[in-house]
Amino acid sequence: MGCGSVHRPRAVVRVVDFVYYFPSPGHCKASQHQCARGQRYIQFGRFPMKCRFRLLLGGLVFATMHLAPAFAQSGGMSLPKTVEAGNAFSIQATGSGKAVLYIVGPGQVLKRDVQLGETTFFAAGDLHNAGHYLAVLVGGSSTGNGAFDVVPAKNPANLSFLAKPSRLSVSLHDGISGAVCVFDPYQNLITAPTPVSFQLSGLSTAAQTRTVATRNGCAWTEMDSAAKEGAAQFVARVGSISSTRVIQQVPGDPCGLRMSARPSGQKIELETDPVRDCGGNAVPDGTVVTFTELYDGSQTTVDVPLKRGVARAEMPAYSGARISVATGVVMGNEIRWGKQ
């Protein structure tokens, strides 16, 4: 007999509604290295962990096959098919005498002493977690069980809004994305299709608006960043409920970089024009500008941060030197100094 079978159980121990079977001494004849290697045994019999898992899995399948039809019928109770989260509801139990009604669901258990033949009322807010619930009636002249569903409330109360990135360059197509999940007052995800309005607006540009219906409780969209730098308000709205995120739109790469040169004693004084991106936005101070001088096979390089939009540097004044300017991957103009 293999380790996955139960053969002539000699003892049965019940622990918190679970039954463990301990096999006879002749059971599980696999060798030590095949069956017990790295596994633990129950105290009252050689029953490896692998065998226990197989037995537990089989028991769960067996229980599900036999109990599922029972929960599909209400017996002596009249149950609602669905209940909206947070709403009041009632259950009618037939028969006579007293009984106990249990309602079990996701994160909630209710117990009520009931009088059979009368209606049992549940107040608003008694059931607020959406999900599948089981109702069991115990005692008296009538017993029964059944099931019903608690669905999310229809009115949205909270939005979970994620917008990214929080900072990006101007003039990027679909550069900004937003995703929203809609919840009812009890934090249940509202899975019914719900229209969500997205709006992205800045100080110097027209607002962009999208309306998207949720799928499985969530909706998402993409927006273009504006042509001008500055903070933009990204708003998601469902009815009277809204959530806002701030997106910082910064200048892009410099465009049309140019410098000028003039003599200053034995030096050349170099200065860039105000550095801007292709949309005319000023590139932020601190951006590094590199000046490079080539003369007689040697190279001199100076890195200078932008200050008030321009970069300045001094380099040796060699006649015939070639001087260039760049920032990042953007190249500017080139100057030949003195005699050619």
- For residue 42, name the pLDDT band (cuts at 50, 70, 90): very low
- Residue 8 belongs to a domain: no
Q: Are 156 and 190 in contact (CB under 8 A)?
A: yes
Q: What is the pLDDT of residue 17?
A: 37
Asked whether residue 199 carries a pLDDT value surpassing 70, the answer given is yes
Domain end (from 250, 283, 302): 250
Residue where a domain stops, chosen among 128, 151, 174: 151
- Is 97 part of any domain? yes
Q: What are phi and psi of 65, to 5 degrees?
A: -65, -35
Residue 25 belongs to a domain: no
Same domain, 266 and 321: yes
Same domain, 236 and 265: no
Q: Provide, rounded to the nearest whole percent, the portion of the chain with pLDDT above 90.
A: 63
Give yes or no: residues 141 and 81 share one domain.
yes
**pLDDT tens column, 100-126:** 999 999 999 999 999 988 999 999 999
What is the pLDDT averaged over residues 16-30? Answer: 39
Place of tokens 């080139």: 334
Which residue did the predictor score with more confidence, 4 or 334? Answer: 334
Q: Tell me, yes or no, whether 12 lies in a domain.
A: no
- Residue 297, classified by CB atoms within 10 Å of its CB into exposed (0-12), middle (13-18) or buried (19+), is exposed
Residue 37 has pLDDT above 80, yes or no: no
Question: Which range has the worst mean pLDDT, 55-59, 148-152, 214-218, 271-275?
Answer: 55-59
Q: Is residue 40 predicted with pLDDT exceeding 60?
A: no
Residue 2 is assigned to a structural domain of this protein:
no
pLDDT band at 142 (very low <50, low <70, confident <90, very high): low
Over residues 146-191, the pLDDT tens digits come to 999 999 999 999 999 999 999 999 999 999 999 999 999 999 999 9
Residue 245 lies in a domain: yes
Name which of 264, 283, 3, 67 is nearest 273 in CA terms.
283
134 and 88 together in one domain: yes
- Does residue 133 register a pLDDT over 70? yes
Number of folded domains that form the chain? 4
- Between CA 303 and CA 328 the distance in angstroms is 11
What residues contact residue 38 under an 8 Å CB cut-off, 6+ apart?
none
Indicate whether 102 and 124 sit together in one domain. yes
43 phi/psi in degrees, rounded to 5: -60, -40
Query: Do 183 and 166 belong together in one domain?
Result: yes
CB 142, CB 94: distance < 8 Å: yes
Residue 236 belongs to domain with CATH number: 2.60.40.10
Q: What is the pLDDT of residue 4?
A: 44
* Cα dihedral 20, 21, 22, 28 sign: negative
Residue 24 in domain: no
- Which of residues 191, 222, 250 is at a domain's end? 250
* The residue count for the chain: 340
pLDDT tens for each residue of 79-90 = 999 999 999 999
**Claim to verify: residue 211 and residue 234 sit in the same structural domain:** yes
- Confidence (pLDDT) at 239: 93
The domain of 101 spans 77-151
pLDDT at 279 > cutoff 90: no
Same domain? 246 vs 268: no
Dist CA 306 CA 102 (whole Å): 73
Residue 18 belongs to some domain of the structure: no
Higher local confidence (pLDDT), 131 or 30: 131
